Homo-oligomer: A and B are copies of this chain.
Amino acid sequence: MDTIALVPNNSLITETPEEGRQLAVKLARLIIKLTQPDEEKRKQLRDVYGNDAMMLIAVGQTVATEFATIAAANNYWQK
């Protein structure tokens, strides 16, 4: 099927919440990349949503949903 990696390092485990947050952003971006593989078009679309208030909020919603899963996977980084 699709040949790009959808989960960097094939793991949801991170050392810290900060790294977990970065992973959430990457997971969200990789789905966009999978759905629109053309780098040039993605660049144009990034320019669109980076300048549209509603789309920026929607990006935040998607990242928040990804992060919820990552945080649970890491037991909220509690020792």
A45 to B50, CA, bound (A): 10
Q: Which chain B positions have C-beta within 8 A of A16?
A: 7, 10
Q: Count residues of chain A with CB under 8 A from any CB of chain B.
A: 53
- Chain A at the B interface: mostly helix, strand, loop or mixed? helix
Number of copies: 6
Q: Which residues of A contact B (CB under 8 A)?
A: 1-2, 5-7, 10-12, 16-18, 20-22, 25, 27-28, 31-32, 34-36, 41, 45-46, 48-69, 71-73, 76-78
A52 to B49, CA, bound (A): 10
A2 to B10, CA, bound (A): 20
* A53 and B45 form a contact (CB under 8 A): yes
